[in-house]
Amino acid sequence: MNLKLIFIYLGLLSTELLIAQNQITELSLKQVIEMARMESPDAQTARHSFRSAYWNYKYYRANYLPFLSLTSDPNLNRAINKITMGDGSVKFVEQNLLNTDLTLNLSQNLFWTGGSFFLETSAQRMDLFSEHKYSWQTSPIMIGYRQSLFGYNSLKWDRRIEPVRYQEAKKSYVETLELVSANAIHKFFALATAQSDYDIASFNYANADTLYRYAQGRYNIGTITENEMLQLELNRLTEETNRMNARIEMDNCMQELRSYLGIHEDRDLRVLVSPQVPDFSVNLNEALVLAYENSPDIQTMERRKLESESAVAKARANAGLKADIYLRFGLTQTADKLPEAYRNLLDQQYVSIGISLPILDWGRGKGQVRVARSNRDLVYTQVEQSRTDFELNVRKLVKQFNLQTQRVRIAARTDETAQRRSEVARKLYLLGKSTILDLNASISEKDSARRNYISALYNYWSLYYTLRSMTLYDFERNTMLTEDYHLLIE
């Protein structure tokens, strides 16, 4: 088989590949990232998690706003009850009465004291069915205050912790989307590698088949040895096996990408790898400042410290003196008719103080305080270590990313050179000016260079989006990464 027939065979193979490409969906890296950020399971989970955090934050904020409620507790009592009479004697008396009431209450929590102030108005009616009588009791206005003295003030600590938790949730959502992008990049380049391996295997098989047929002719005229012809036949069989294995791996990677992107149709995908990468470097000090300002990990560390301090305050409050105070002042009156129950109002006061002081608890309270302190110290130590590891990780990522652009250039140049060398080695072998060992070596170097090039591109984009997730900053466009949180809630 001469060179003309070889090029015709390769041209037919390229035509078949072009026809196949027209029947599949082509996706760029940008398209895959956008689809993953919208449809991937990780992105949807992140949206649900943020909504949950948002409504938890709304619930926290509502605790500091006025609360208006309307309550009623009617009850019917028809029984024989033991009643103490006016002279001190006790009798069993048949009762048949209905109590109905209505109370309107306006309350306001006070975070600086942990107490609650309330204002209410109420009316109550009692019907005595046995005597065909009824009466009213009203409290047109009642002002009160309840407070736990020396106790744990959850309102104060929530005011310090919950805003940090909500900021952590917002930043975690943006971070998760960047990690979704990084995961999509991984699946994109996994398919790109599998497709490249399949294209390489197909090309190598075509070449191996052509060379084997060509070698049969040369063997018949005695210009090559039987050993060399058998080596070419072995190469052909090996490349055919490699092509089948590469096809299976490509189908598996394609299925994983379809599943992650939420594509339910059983259609073929082909990813388009762009050789272009943005040419810029990241300033290390700027990246560290952005990471400390924007990373949700920093918010998590701050929240953990506040929660440990809150646990110590709660243990101290539970271990010592406890006192509850309840104050209520207002006006009241009773009458047989409702309008008269609002006339000639009488004042009423109610004060209650409850005190609890542990005398002998066998060190239980003290032990709880010390456990809380130990846990707090442990959290502080862990946070400091996490902060150190966080900074080291940012430094490592920045240095690796700044070097990766040059690595991509070197890998691209190596790939181009290896492709040219393989072509030259193939032509030399066809002309009888090279050995089969040189040809096999050039093919191996060509395949390895292509895989290394795709791997270098993958490492570049993976490092970039990981760095974005830690700083929540787009270094290419010099803008902060954020999302429309109101649109998420709607």
Q: What are phi and psi of 97, to 5 degrees?
A: -140, 160
For 391-427, how does the pLDDT look when each residue is reduced to its tens digit (9 = 90+)?
Answer: 999 999 999 999 999 999 999 999 999 989 888 888 8
SS (H, E, C) the chain: CCHHHHHHHHHHHHHHHHHHHCCCEEEEHHHHHHHHHHHCHHHHHHHHHHHHHHHHHHHHHHCCCCEEEEECCCEEEEEEEEEECCCCCEEEEEEEEEEEEEEEEEEEEECCCCEEEEEEEEEEEEEECCCCEEEEEEEEEEEEEEEEECCCCHHHHHHHHHHHHHHHHHHHHHHHHHHHHHHHHHHHHHHHHHHHHHHHHHHHHHHHHHHHHHHHHHHHCCCCCHHHHHHHHHHHHHHHHHHHHHHHHHHHHHHHHHHHHCCCCCCCEEEECCCCCCCCCCCHHHHHHHHHHHCHHHHHHHHHHHHHHHHHHHHHHHHCCEEEEEEEEEEEEEECCCHHHHCCCEEEEEEEEEEECCCCCCCHHHHHHHHHHHHHHHHHHHHHHHHHHHHHHHHHHHHHHHHHHHHHHHHHHHHHHHHHHHHHHHHHHHCCCCCHHHHHHHHHHHHHHHHHHHHHHHHHHHHHHHHHHHHCEECCCCEECCCCHHHHHC
301 pLDDT exceeds 60?
yes
Q: Quick one: pLDDT at residue 210?
A: 78
Instruction: Extract the tokens encoding 266.
Output: 């059983």
49 pLDDT exceeds 90?
yes
For 130-154, how does the pLDDT look when each residue is reduced to its tens digit (9 = 90+)?
Answer: 778 889 999 999 999 999 888 899 9
Give the mean pLDDT of 156-179: 95
pLDDT bucket at 78, cuts 50 / 70 / 90: confident
First to last CA, the chain: 69
For residues 292 and 290, give the distance between their C-alpha atoms in angstroms, rounded to a whole number: 6
479 pLDDT exceeds 70?
yes
Q: Is 31 exposed, middle or buried (0-12, 13-18, 19+ CB in 10 A)?
A: middle
Could you tell me whether strands 25-28 and 269-272 are parallel, antiparallel, or unpaired per DSSP bridges?
Answer: parallel
List the domains of the chain with CATH numbers. 25-64+157-303+376-488 (1.20.1600.10), 71-110+115-148+322-357 (no CATH)
2 pLDDT exceeds 60?
no
For 435-456, how does the pLDDT look when each residue is reduced to its tens digit (9 = 90+)?
Answer: 777 877 887 888 889 999 999 9
For 341-394, how does the pLDDT look when each residue is reduced to its tens digit (9 = 90+)?
Answer: 888 888 889 999 988 888 877 888 889 999 999 999 999 999 999 999 999 999
Q: Quick one: pLDDT at residue 312?
A: 94
Asked which of 327-336, 386-395, 454-463 is least confident by mean pLDDT, the reply is 327-336
17 pLDDT exceeds 70?
no
Mean pLDDT over all residues of the chain? 87
Higher pLDDT, 20 or 104: 104
Q: Quick one: pLDDT at residue 5?
A: 34
307 pLDDT exceeds 50?
yes
Report the share of the chain in percent with pLDDT over 70.
Answer: 94
For 100-131, how does the pLDDT look when each residue is reduced to its tens digit (9 = 90+)?
Answer: 999 999 999 998 888 999 999 999 999 888 77
Asked which of 197-201, 282-286, 386-390 is least confident by mean pLDDT, the reply is 197-201
